[in-house]
Amino acid sequence: SDTQYDYDVLVIGAGPGGYVAAIRAAQLGLKTACAESRETLGGTCLNVGCIPSKAMLHASEFYDAAANGAMADMGIEVSPKLDLEKMHGQRRDAVKGLTGGIEFLFKKNKVDWKKGRATFQDAHTVKVGDETVTAKDVIIATGSSVTPLPGVEIDNAKGVVVDSTGALELQKVPEKMVVIGGGVIGLEMGSVWNRLGAEVVVVEFLDQLLPGMDGEVRKEAGKIFKKQGMELRLSTKVTGVEIKGDKAVLTLEPAAGGDSETLEADCVLVSIGRRPNTEGLGLENIGLEPNKRGQIEVDNDFRTSVDGVWAIGDVAPGPMLAHKAEDEGIACAENIAGQTGIVNHDIIPGVVYTLPEFAGVGLTQEEAIEKAGGDKAKVKVGKFPMMANSRAKTNHEPDGFVKVIADAETDRVLGVWAIANVAGTMIAQAAQAMEFGATSEDIAYTCHAHPTHSEAIKEAAMAVQGKPIHI
């Protein structure tokens, strides 16, 4: 350890990027501290993101199954009563358990938690609250926050115009909820309140939901959410939100311009994306400037342009996902320790945890064709509907399909997309196969247990070869 500094490594931010980087650095024998301004560790993901949203999604699935006939279809007659406070309680318990778990892991690995907001004085000196901490290497893992909609004020406590944090904590089921942005947060949180009885309208600027996903998947998403009772207003933008008493009045306009109209709601969720947290970090003191998108640029090792300063997770370029942040945290700590830490950014799965789940890894069909110079013949696609998967059919889960995209010449798998109740779990095998450089034939000839949803991946791979069995 270098005695010139208090620590070998100081990590700023204790989200999935930062806390994982800190633990790995400590495991590698580096004296490590982690600065976090929140009262609990775990960042956005554990406190107000991945975990509490899944707690509400899971609980609301049960309510929906009981209230809307899915249980009755299987011979279980119930008339559920919603105890929303208790549902929130189990959400808070999940968060408490997991954030407490990180505190335990910090102690176990001897990572010092410096409570407070961190500001760079110079590249090796950071003020955390009232304390000054020096470190040989500093990792910026400050994450992201909701992108505001100009002119629209979020007030989570009031609960009329909220961001995702407010949408997790609504004290009553809104009669009518308008979701601005048909992306991941809008559809997950919209699903929660739709299942619990709210009338949900999703206003999306683009002509399809879920930008970034495969075209066919996006189209199917539209059909599925409509079938679940959400109203979709695609190619539409919100130009203003006015508060009138305890209601909000939104002004909508066609995305291409045209006549505006108004829409009243009890609750408005602003979910139009997130932006990196760099304000107040004192980046100007170390001569580091974010790029046009507000991100801190890094090289493949996660080094910024300033010697000894590294960046990972949502604050750095790439998808804003917890597992991407975690993998970068591990690789970055390993690089600081002189090892070779690598993240394959081409194979990062993405999952939307609605019901069914929407998942994908690798290229979309559109991207694959574009990469092949626009030559459709160079890309092979195999599809298999969940309706023909015995397990999904038996479980009354007919929605969705699996799609395997492969290089027509080499048969190497370029992308896999899945809409299925457990698509998030299914996609892991696709990521692993792709990481091992699998061909679609490799997947088609791998024995899959029966009856499982995962057999649909095998069959979609067989369909790439032109010979599925069950369709």
In the complex, which residues of this chain contact ligand FAD (CB under 6 A)?
12-18, 35-38, 43-45, 49-50, 53, 117-118, 141-144, 164, 185, 277, 281, 313-314, 320-323, 325, 353
Whether 142 has a binding-site annotation, put simply, is yes
Closest CA to 232 of 242, 218, 244: 218
| Interacting residues with ligand NAI between 312 and 371 (CB under 6 A) | 319-321, 351-353
What are the φ/ψ torsions at residue 365 (nearest 5 degrees)?
Answer: -60, -40
Q: Which among 419, 423, 464, 471 has a CA at the least distance from the CA of 444?
A: 464
CB contact at 8 A, 13 and 85 = no
Residue 16 contact partner, candidates ligand FAD, ligand NAI, none, CB within 5 to 8 A by sort of partner: ligand FAD
Pick from 273, 308, 318, 451: which binds ligand NAI (CB under 6 A)? 273
> Phi first, then psi: what are they for 192, rounded to 5°?
-55, -55
182 scored as a contact of ligand NAI (CB under 6 A): yes
Residues in the chain: 471
Q: Does 62 bind ligand NAI (CB under 6 A)?
A: no
Q: Least distance to ligand NAI from the beta carbon of 301, Å?
A: 23
> Smallest gap, in angstroms, from Cβ of residue 326 to ligand FAD?
8
Catalytic, 345? Answer no
CA atoms of 20 and 328, how far apart (whole Å)? 9
Q: Tell me whether residue 239 or residue 395 sits nearer to ligand NAI (CB atom).
A: 239
Structure tokens at 461: 């791979």
Cβ atoms within 10 A of the Cβ of 104, count? Answer: 10
CB of 1 to ligand FAD, least distance (A): 23
Torsion (CA) 64, 188, 239, 153 in degrees, nearest 10: 100
Instruction: Figure out which of the listed residues 188, 220, 399, 459 binds ligand NAI, where binding follows CB under 6 A.
Output: 188
- 449: three-class secondary structure by DSSP: coil
CA 111 to chain centre: 27
Whether residue 204 is annotated as binding a ligand: the answer is yes
| Residue 419 contacts ligand NAI per CB under 6 A | no
* 340 assigned to a ligand binding site: no
Q: What share of the chain is helix, strand, coil (3-state, %, to 5)?
A: 35, 25, 40
Give residue for tokens 């996903």: 213
Q: Which residue is nearest to ligand FAD (CB)?
A: 143
Question: Taking CB under 6 A as the criterion, which residues in 130-159 touch ligand NAI?
Answer: 149
- Does position 184 bind ligand NAI by CB under 6 A? yes
- Phi and psi at residue 432, in whole multiples of 5°? -65, -45
405 labeled binding residue: no
CA pair distance 311, 304, nearest whole angstrom: 6
- What are residue 264's DSSP bridge partners? 249
The answer to the question of residue 204 lying near ligand NAI (CB under 6 A) is yes
10 Å Cβ neighbour count for 293?
A: 9
- Is 355 flagged in the annotation as binding? no
Q: Residue 423 CB, nearest distance to ligand NAI (Å)?
A: 11
The reply to whether 186 sits near ligand NAI by the rule CB under 6 A is yes
Q: Kindly tell me which residue out of 203, 288, 309, 414 binds ligand NAI, with binding defined by CB under 6 A.
A: 203
Binding partner of 35, given ligand FAD, ligand NAI, none, CB within 5-8 angstroms per partner class: ligand FAD
Amino acid, single-letter form, for residue 211: P
Q: Evaluate whether 402 touches 418 at the Cβ level (below 8 Å).
A: yes
Residues 372, 361: Cα–Cα separation, whole Å: 18
Residue 167 within binding range of ligand NAI, rule CB under 6 A: no
Among the listed residues 371, 373, 374, the one whose alpha carbon sits nearest the alpha carbon of residue 362: 371
> What minimum distance in Å lies between the beta carbon of 147 and ligand NAI?
7
Count of residues interacting with ligand NAI (CB under 6 A): 26
User: Choosing from 396, 450, 453, 470, which is the catalytic residue?
Assistant: 450
Residue from 205, 194, 207 nearest 167 by CA = 194
The site partner of 206 among ligand FAD, ligand NAI, none (C-beta below 5 to 8 Å per kind) is: ligand NAI
| 180 binds ligand NAI per the rule CB under 6 A | yes
C-alpha to C-alpha distance for 70 and 276, rounded to whole angstroms:
41
Q: Which residues are annotated as a binding site for NAD(+)?
A: 181-188, 204, 273
Annotated binding site for FAD: 54, 142-144, 314, 320-323
Active site positions, annotated: 450
Binding site for ligand NAI (CB under 6 A): 149, 180-186, 188, 203-206, 211, 237-238, 271-274, 319-321, 351-353
Q: Which residues line the annotated binding site?
A: 54, 142-144, 181-188, 204, 273, 314, 320-323
